Chain A
Amino acid sequence: MTHVKILLFATLRERIGGAKFIELTLPDGATIQALKAQIAREYPALEQNMKSVLTTINREYAFDEAVVPDGAELAMFPPVSGG
């Protein structure tokens, strides 16, 4: 099993009461797509967000087919709006 901690920002963080991260246990070899599906199941408040969320692995953008590495730094957030 792969244990991951996912940092949350902006809307996502507020949706689950301000927690800065969530932790999940995934089957080894799980992809980002599978991770999103699992989050939608375990955190219904985030289900809507999973459709448009951006995901990063070790501070680089990652996409649905990417495999989640054990011990990686993951983050999820809406499209950015700095400036």
Chain B
Amino acid sequence: MRPTDYPTIFRITEEELDLDALLDAITLPSTGAAAIFTGMVRGVTTRGDAHETVYLEYEAYKPMAESKMKQVADEIRERWPTIEGIAVVQRIGRLYPRTPTVLIAVTSAHRDTGVFDAARYGIDRLKEIVPVWKKEVDPNGEEWIEGDYIPKAGE
């Protein structure tokens, strides 16, 4: 397969994340390694401000979010040209503890070609530039979570 044909998935969805199907979609005859990062709703937080979470409510500026997810995938390919398939998927809506909310998966020929770093870069970058927000609902009330990254020109 030519590099321009490598599968790239970038999607905002209200559906359950099917980790097996997403991995299958970026697995090629030439890939022998994948790194998958997934995040899920944490019901009990002990680090920092210890608290419990009833659920998170996610919303997105969908067309821009999907275009920025594509940009994250493009940046991964620029930094790690050995990466073959990429999936960047964010679930939105009301999500309860233990539910997967996001998936970043990358595939390549071998495990020593940057897959771990590329997946880490993907989730870090998503949290910087992809327009998605979450409201945390806990037993005492609700609060929008705001990030702290201010995008620069051209991002």
Contacts and interface: CB of A to CB of B under 8 A. Distances in A.
Which one of A11, A54, A79, A81 has the highest number of Cβ atoms from chain B below 10 Å of its Cβ? A81
A78 B129 CA distance: 11
B150 A9 contact: no
Interface size class of B (residues with CB under 8 A): 20 to 34
Nearest to A9: B61
Contact of A82 (B58, B63, B67, B135): B58
Contacts of A77: 61, 131, 133
Contact of B127 (A11, A75, A81): A81
Contact of B146 (A14, A56, A79): A79
A54 B129 CA distance: 11
Given A7-B61, A59-B67, A79 B144 contact: no
Nearest to B68: A59
A78 B131 CA distance: 9
